Amino acid sequence: MTGLRFGTGAIALAALVLAFAWHIAVGAKMIPLGTVAEALWSYDETVFDHVVIRDLRLPRALMAVAVGAGLAVAGALMQGVTRNPLADPGLLGLLAGASFAVVLGTFTGLTGPAAIPVLAAVGALAAASVVWGIASAVPGGATPMTLVLAGAVVTAFLAALTAIMLLIDETSFEALRVWLTGTLAGRPGSAGLWAMGWLALGLFIALGAARQVTALAMGDEAATGLGVDVKKLRLAILASIVALTAAAVALAGPMGFVGLVVPHMVRLVVGHDYRVIVPASAVVGATYMLLADIAARMLLAPVEISTGLITALLGAPVFVWLVRARL
């Protein structure tokens, strides 16, 4: 069993490394994999390709890894804690809340590299509370269906308000229009470093709490019986989800369905132990995001489409299938 698990893990990691190298090699100018390796190990700033790789392609690939891992882990935790196969930061309104808060911050002049992740976190937390509040007040309680409907309505509302703000303030409109469809094309700069900090914090909590999430996924009573402090765990997981979502939104804007698709793929292979699901979701999520970004750059080349459109195109059919199969 353990041998099998290590084998699967090794394959997943190898896939991640391959996708990473391919992601760097692909673009307006195809760069051979040998040059990619050279640029990483023996950097020579007189070689043009090396500069392209170091300055443009490597940051983008790292961003894809961070966003994919963060969203996938956030989705896995949400699905475990709410025992809801349809949980996802996008579907439950967290991405809309985070991007609304960032746009509102830009609108009121409250920006800065450190402020963006904070705004995103506050927005995600507020949206999550509202969605949860609506869904639990519905007769019948917070079922997967009511949660998704509440998430859809909060998303629609915030999206309309966001669009209105962008129309009123044309300067931020230009800067944020592409970001709002979910893209990795921007240069993160120092905001990226702050976001990475939030991501590391979220992943740290997630990995620490993973063992107890498995117990929680069996039900509150079972978890309490197994010695889990359910309330404390829920708060820790919520903090982790908010931090991961905020980091992902700060880096790449709202990227839908990643948190839905990846944990389901992972669960098909590794089963229901969250000690495995959480790190596996991180690795697979990063690979998935790299591949989605490759598709976004290649599909209609030389035009580049937003990566968020690719994740929606891949994720929406999975969502429909889950609705049909699980509900």
Partner 1 sequence: MSEALWQKLDGRVTFAVPLLAILVLATLFALICAITLVALVSGSFPMSATDALQSIAGNPPSDMAATVVWEFRLPRALTAAMAGALLAGSGAVLQTVTRNALADPSLVGVSQGAGLAVVTVLVIYPQTPIGLRPILAFVGALAVAVLIQAIAIRRTGGATMRFILTGIGVAAFLGAVTQAMLTYGDLDRAMTALGWLAGSVHAAGWGDVQVLCISLSLLIPAMIWATRPLAALRMGPEIATGLGCAVTRDRAALIALSVALAASAVAMVGPLGFVGLIAPHLARRLARSGPGLHLALSLATGSALVAIADLIGRTAFAPIQIPAGLVTAVIGAPVFGWLLLKRQH
Residues of this chain that interact with partner 1 (CB under 8 A) are 86, 134, 137-140, 145-146, 148-150, 152-154, 156-157, 159-161, 163-164, 167-168, 181, 256-257, 300, 303-306, 308-310, 312-313, 315-317, 319-320, 323-324, 327
In the complex, least distance from residue 311 CB atom to partner 1, rounded to whole angstroms: 9
Identity of the residue, 71 or 280, whose beta carbon is nearer to partner 1 in the bound complex:
71
Decide: helix, strand or coil at residue 53.
helix
Q: CA 155, CA 158: separation in Å to the nearest integer?
A: 5
Q: How many distinct helices (H) and strands (E) make up the chain? A: 14, 0
In the complex, least distance from residue 228 CB atom to partner 1, rounded to whole angstroms: 31
Percentages helix, strand, coil for the chain, rounded to the nearest 5? 80, 0, 20
For 46, phi and psi rounded to 5 degrees? -85, -15
* DSSP character at residue 113: T
Q: CA 152, CA 147: separation in Å to the nearest integer?
A: 9
In the complex, least distance from residue 55 CB atom to partner 1, rounded to whole angstroms: 25
Identity of the residue, 37 or 160, whose beta carbon is nearer to partner 1 in the bound complex:
160
Q: What is the 3-state secondary structure (H, E, C) of 201-261?
A: HHHHHHHHHHHHHHHHCCCHHHHHHCCCCHHHHHHHHHHHHHHHHHHHHHHHCCCCCHHHH
Burial of residue 155 (CB within 10 Å: 0-12, 13-18, 19+) is buried
Identity of the residue, 79 or 214, whose beta carbon is nearer to partner 1 in the bound complex:
79
In the complex, least distance from residue 58 CB atom to partner 1, rounded to whole angstroms: 25
Longest dimension (CA), the chain: 67
**Cis peptide leading into residue 302 (ω within 30°):** yes
For 309, the token pair is: 């459109």
In the complex, least distance from residue 282 CB atom to partner 1, rounded to whole angstroms: 24
In the complex, least distance from residue 138 CB atom to partner 1, rounded to whole angstroms: 6
In the complex, least distance from residue 303 CB atom to partner 1, rounded to whole angstroms: 6
Identity of the residue, 210 or 248, whose beta carbon is nearer to partner 1 in the bound complex:
248
